[in-house]
Chains A and B, each alone.
Chain A
């Protein structure tokens, strides 16, 4: 589908490109460093050293496994929304709210006009690229999700807040591209929750991406896709990175009824289960994808970020992803 665009950007990928959604678990030494930093036992420099060490660990690990398009693993982030809220003007850190069970997070509050003052992820992207030998995705959380997962006090309504965020976050996209990023992923997991607001998310994505020379991926997960498909094809991204395994591949039925015009990063392992899927299960999921989608349009990855898994589980799940992609490459004529 968009292989020509990728080739135009100087990126030549094999059939069934292997990638991951973004986050990996923090190794024990980084978990300890973060706890020590929170307790004022170490300085920021020591924490950042541990974050760089962990980033390099995951870059090396992805390359060892045979991943084609790498991520930095988000070792420097706590929460995908809070990280951007902490680095954009206009936000305050809110108190703790519960997400489920005994899990809580600090939900940001938009208390003033949002403003991008300087690059947020760029230094980490540059560091990771410096230790990587394969293409590396630029990664940021999208404006709709940041808006949806924040309290909005300053703006009169959700749309205004979302579009203001998009305008500012475009600066981050431009900064990544200026530094050489060719593939940029804009995570919008909240997009599938309020179908009536899909036009707002599409408008915001246009603000983020229009006229910019990159291959754009958008990660969307854990929502009611039947409420936003096929309208979601209006989202200006080249590739939808979708959670497929957790929902029993039911999105394939939607693709049968209305052809998908995007490349699909097809989630073949469940990111929120300790169970390591066996190779045949994962390969079968990918075979089902090939029955419905053009094989040239299929990328292969986990359902979602792997940060909630242990390091060993994340590696094992990525190995299963790699094995499935390689098995399918071997049985297709285009290798």
Chain B
């Protein structure tokens, strides 16, 4: 099995070195009226370049822009859509990270590209292919509140988000994204909603053109849905193995019709994974993966870790691959 290394999605925008404090410092000064929009943008670009460089230095084959510009996984997309206002802070799953909750007053409408310029900037600055990452419509809808409430409001919100993000998938594909990752952690909290979820994915997949569409599920156990996930119109299936003790056995026994993105390194804990133990899991999974290629990745975005530990996790990906291939690390 060929094993490629990839980042999952986010990457810390801050570190303990003064160089890594640039964006925080600039935004704080911006809030006091001491810096301009251009200065904030320049700081975001600099931190994006640093994130790309650290991923490349770690030996990754597929990188991300680190979502350096994102205030949070929900409002960065929903807040750019018409018909959506942002409200108070809510906790993002069981993390100690908070997002601004969208209030959907009408149908969410995409009036401008959401991520295309960010993707283009990252691809231009990166020595490696850049994966475009977006939170999916189902998760956006689950974390939104319909201003008018009433029956059917969730369905209307979901439909609006799906249409908007399908257009964004088309735009990212046209911009040259080889891989477009849709993040849908909320599905794992609503397993019974799979039929509705499947329709959303199909709508996005129709617009992917030559891009590969990846679905990333994390913060929960995907094993109960494993067979259904294999039917989805995606090219890559990203799974969080840290929440599911039986998932490796399940993959080993059932195989996979999709290329797997194996989230074997815990993106939420600083403890570094043992290369030998992780290699044993890889060997088990690889025996029947059904594909000649898989991605090894963290289980989720790395912004939940301090920068030094996030960087170590990326480097550990290469150590594990070397152990898996039987060559010295």
Contacts and interface: CB of A to CB of B under 8 A. Distances in A.
Nearest to B268: A151
A262 interface: no
Contact of B97 (A94, A96, A99, A153): A99
A193 interface: yes
Contact of A95 (B15, B28, B31, B91): B15
Interface stretch (A37-45, A100-108, A119-127): A100-108
Contact of B16 (A95, A107, A246): A95
Contact of A109 (B24, B27, B270): B270
Contacts of B72: 100-101
Contacts of B16: 95-96
Interface string B1-36: 000000000001111100000001001100100000
Interface stretch (B194-202, B283-291, B300-308, B319-327): B300-308
B269 interface: yes
Determine the interface band of chain B, counting residues with CB < 8 A from chain A: 20 to 34
Contact of A193 (B12, B91, B307): B91
Contact of A96 (B15, B27, B28, B99): B15
Contacts of B88: 246, 272
Contacts of B94: 193-194
A223 B91 CA distance: 8
A149 B96 contact: yes
Interface residues of A, number: 24
Contact of A104 (B14, B71, B98, B269): B14
B280 interface: no
A98 B307 contact: no
B303 A98 contact: yes
B14 A222 contact: no
B96 A99 contact: yes
Interface string A178-213: 000000000000100110000000000000000000
A153 B273 CA distance: 11
A94 B306 contact: yes
B309 interface: yes
Given A102-B28, A152-B269, A153-B271, A97 B306 contact: yes
Contact of A151 (B14, B91, B271): B271
B89 interface: yes
Contact of B13 (A98, A151, A153): A98
B271 A99 contact: no
Contact of A153 (B27, B270, B306, B307): B270
Contacts of B304: 97
A107 B306 contact: yes
Nearest to A192: B91
Contacts of B269: 151-153
A77 B189 CA distance: 36
Contact of B71 (A101, A152, A194, A222): A101
Nearest to B272: A153
Interface in B258-277: 269-271
Interface in B85-122: 88-89, 91, 94, 96-99
Contact of B306 (A96, A193, A246): A96
Interface in A258-275: 272
A190 B71 CA distance: 22
Contacts of A222: 91
Contact of A98 (B28, B97, B309): B97
A34 B138 CA distance: 45
B90 to A, nearest CB: 8
A19 B71 CA distance: 35
Given A149-B96, A152-B271, A98 B14 contact: yes
A100 B89 contact: yes
Contacts of B271: 151-153
Interface in B23-76: 24, 27-28, 31, 71-72
B44 to A, nearest CB: 12
A100 B309 contact: no
Contacts of A97: 12, 303-306
B112 to A, nearest CB: 22
A94 B270 CA distance: 9
A151 B88 CA distance: 27
Nearest to B93: A193
A330 to B, nearest CB: 33
Nearest to A94: B306
A97 to B, nearest CB: 6
Nearest to B98: A100
A153 B266 CA distance: 12
Contacts of A246: 88
9 contacts: A96-B14, A96-B15, A96-B16, A97-B12, A109-B270, A149-B96, A190-B96, A222-B91, A272-B89
Given A149-B96, A152-B271, A194-B94, 20 more contacts: A94-B306, A95-B306, A96-B12, A96-B16, A97-B306, A98-B14, A99-B96, A100-B71, A100-B97, A102-B31, A104-B14, A104-B24, A109-B270, A151-B271, A151-B309, A152-B269, A153-B270, A153-B271, A193-B91, A223-B91
Q: Top 3 nearest A-B pairs by Cβ distance? A: A95-B306, A100-B98, A151-B270
